[in-house]
Amino acid sequence: MTMILSRRFFIQASLSAAGGLMIAAFAPEFAGATSLAGEPWSPETGKTPDEVNAFVVIDPDSSIRLRVPKSEMGQGVLTSLAMILAEELECDFAKVKVEYASGHRNLIDNNVYQSMGTGGSRSIRGSRVYLQQAGASARARLVAAAAVRWGVEPAACVASGGLVRNEASGRSATYGELAADAAKVALAIEPAIKTPDQFKLIGAGLKRIDTPLKVTGAARFGIDTRLPNMAYAAAANCPVFGGKLKSYDFSAISGRRGVIAAVPVTNGVAVVADNFWRAKEALKAMPIVWDFGPAASTDSGEFRAEYHAALDGPLANGGGYGDVDAAFASPAKLVEAVYEVPYLAHAPMEPLNATAHWRGDRIDVWMGTQSPESALALAAKAGGVDPKAVFVHNCFLGGGFGRRAVNDELTQAVEVSKALGRPIKLIWTREEDIRSDRYRPQAALRMRAALSGDGSPAGFEFSTAVGSITRSLGWGEVKDGVERQAVEGLANCPYRAGALHVGVNLKNTHVPVMFWRSVGSSQNAFAVESFIDEIAHAAGRDPLEYRRALLQGRPDFLAVIDKLADKGDWGKPLPKGVGRGMAIHEAFGTIVGEIAEVAVSDSGEVRVQRVVACVDCGHLVNPLTAAMQIESAVLYGLTAALFGEITIKQGRVEQGNFDSYPIARMADAPVIETHFALSGGDKWGGLGEPGTPPIAPAIANAVFAATGKRIRSLPLKNVALGA
């Protein structure tokens, strides 16, 4: 079928001559506005003459393309990282277009984009300096080119607003006129980058450049890829992790309309058809026999008991200070509590998918990945091709949250494309996405405090039993029984006690675990911040005042918590049945404090009404996207706190779709107010994740304030709070 689309919005998604996907949206309303250009670099297109450096391309008409080396998954990096480049380049940001840097080029061009992995809330703090340098370097070359052209000293030329000027002669030239010469300039020394007091663009709350694409349906996600001769694949992974495919009967479905083939793949089997619906329906109808393996008899009740037992040791030394044994020898009061959290799925809105075209000596991949570099390596391995002959055309990511850091779906897409010799778009249904995730680890934490007569902590003993992410990903053995993810927020607990000891038991089940928005902080902050609340009450003190007393050595924490208490109306009266709870946590270089106001009805229904957050990330590149990330992180954590749990029965995940793995909806969303208490200086903290850890304990502490019932196990939906 052919359909001619003649519309004002003409969306083009086609193969360029170089084999790269060109993504462009043309709409009169946005003509001249910033948009995603998205033409990946490839050796065929090479270093175009208008490329001033690997990050900055200026066409003769002075249109500017900036290359962003991180993935856009909602956090706003296409805008904020482009702002960093443009800050130094001194150009009109409204005329800038942005495209992804090429992972392939990074591999063959001396790692010019450094780490392209997007995770760990690292995009700004990890790339700011070299992006500033790239922008400054491009500007200095444009100035040098102008100086040569006019026979003046570079110091006599000024670059701003996309023009280089020489005041003495009154001459000026556009960046477009200078770009080709600038590309040939070799700078004797790299220019210094701006200091924060010199920023003009950084710190401005600019609107996101991708919004117009995202309100018109024009933004292209991996799942939207369409290629000539492409077929669609639906995959079934072995329902029990670690199991194997034994056999399948393609003859049972081979006569169905549009069905092309069944192909065994890593972890399962895929059915290929000419339409995804036909592929997934045929897959459902195809008899498959699995060898479930030894884990097929396990269940969550057993895991829970095992994690509890694991707290009794042996425990590896996860850090601490002081003499804990002495502190616990004869405490005035001993407080002890065990906290538990379940496995959690990421469930990004865009189900996992990848489109692969294997052509013998070359593989092209279209998908949304948090790591073009590891995607490239995975595709090369799956397709038996030199990594230098793999081209990853990164798209918009329909959510990531850590899940798109390891691209299991890509391996399968390449395997199917190789087997059939044509482009394949492989999609996991929502059920596959939920049941074949790599989850936030299940964990149990035992928190003990030895209190002195005045209620202050003489000693803390924190023990955690949690799955090792390093082991689960096959990234090697864990040294001395401790990995960073397990102890983040525990070993660096900001509350000063007489002594602290952290014990760790890294215990894995057959369920794979990985990075989930805020990683170990997601469970450790729940335990620490709930426990501090418990101790404060045990000591008969106000939770804010108690925290402040233990944070005297941390002025940065105090600045955040004081502003939080003020903005969040701490101590002000609330109606009956409504409670206020607070939590504060440092992760990824950023301190976030949150106060939740929670109403608990007589029947035990929980409604989070309002969340106030206060953040110290040092500096802000874009206050708008920063606030959006806090709102996002709060709601991601709120869903987990209220509803989130993945449970195992007979070795397999019981949940499958949004009916059994519920997500907060509009009616569940509180009012969220974000404030900043920026400490500046050398501190540049992350923002994608640090807003998540405090929300679960803030809610749990608010439930305690409202009802007197202490929440020590998540999610709250499993806790009876009714009268």
Report if residue 628 touches another protein, rule: CB under 8 A. Answer: yes
Beta carbons of 279 and 426 less than 8 angstroms apart: no
Tell which one of 219, 236, 240, 380 touches another protein (CB under 8 A): 219
Tell which one of 355, 632, 655, 707 touches another protein (CB under 8 A): 632
CA 385 from chain centre, in angstroms, equals: 29
Tell me, by CB under 8 A, how many residues bind another protein.
Answer: 74
Alpha-carbon span 585 to 528, nearest angstrom: 9
Residues 409-438 that bind another protein (CB under 8 A): 427, 429-430
* CB nearer another protein, residue 212 or residue 320: 212
Beta carbons of 425 and 368 less than 8 angstroms apart: no
Minimum separation from the CB atom of position 582 to another protein (A): 20
Beta bridge partners of 506: 466
Minimum separation from the CB atom of position 427 to another protein (A): 7
> Could you tell me which residues come within 8 angstroms of residue 551 by beta carbon, excluding any fewer than 6 positions away?
494, 495, 496, 557, 558, 561
* CB nearer another protein, residue 165 or residue 610: 610
The CA dihedral of 634, 636, 640, 644, to the nearest 10 degrees, is: 160
- Secondary structure in 3-state letters for 448-471: EEEECCCCCEEEEEEEEEECCHHH
* CB nearer another protein, residue 8 or residue 479: 8
Tell which one of 20, 154, 212, 685 touches another protein (CB under 8 A): 212
* CB nearer another protein, residue 449 or residue 646: 646
Minimum separation from the CB atom of position 574 to another protein (A): 20
CB atoms within 10 A of CB 31: 8
Residue with tokens 């001194």: 90
For 683, counting Cβ atoms within 10 Å of its Cβ (0-12 exposed, 13-18 middle, 19+ buried), the class is middle
Residues 378-407 that bind another protein (CB under 8 A): 396-401
Query: DSSP letter at 642?
Result: H
Tell which one of 633, 640, 698, 716 touches another protein (CB under 8 A): 633
Tell which one of 39, 87, 90, 350 touches another protein (CB under 8 A): 350
Report if residue 250 touches another protein, rule: CB under 8 A. Answer: no
Tell which one of 9, 150, 199, 250 touches another protein (CB under 8 A): 9
Query: DSSP letter at 36?
Result: B
Alpha-carbon span 644 to 636, nearest angstrom: 10
Question: Given strand 363-367, what is the order of strands in its sheet?
Answer: 259-265, 268-273, 231-237, 424-427, 353-358, 363-367, 390-394
8-16, 142-150, 372-380, 449-457 -> range binding another protein (CB under 8 A): 8-16
* CB nearer another protein, residue 208 or residue 440: 208
Residues 556-615 that bind another protein (CB under 8 A): none
Cis bond upstream, residue 555 (ω within 30)? no
- Containing 136, the helix (H) or strand (E) segment is helix 123-150
* CB nearer another protein, residue 475 or residue 658: 658
151-159, 211-219, 494-502, 546-554 -> range binding another protein (CB under 8 A): 211-219
| Binding map of another protein across residues 269-308, x = CB under 8 A, - = no contact | ------xxxx-x----------------------------
| Binding map of another protein across residues 170-209, x = CB under 8 A, - = no contact | -------------------------------------xx-
Tell which one of 196, 349, 545, 681 touches another protein (CB under 8 A): 349
Alpha-carbon span 201 to 212, nearest angstrom: 21
* CB nearer another protein, residue 30 or residue 130: 30
Report if residue 228 touches another protein, rule: CB under 8 A. Answer: no
Residues 22-81 that bind another protein (CB under 8 A): 27, 29, 72-76
Query: DSSP letter at 714?
Result: S
Residue with tokens 């479930």: 292
- Please give the structure tokens belonging to residue 350: 């865009």
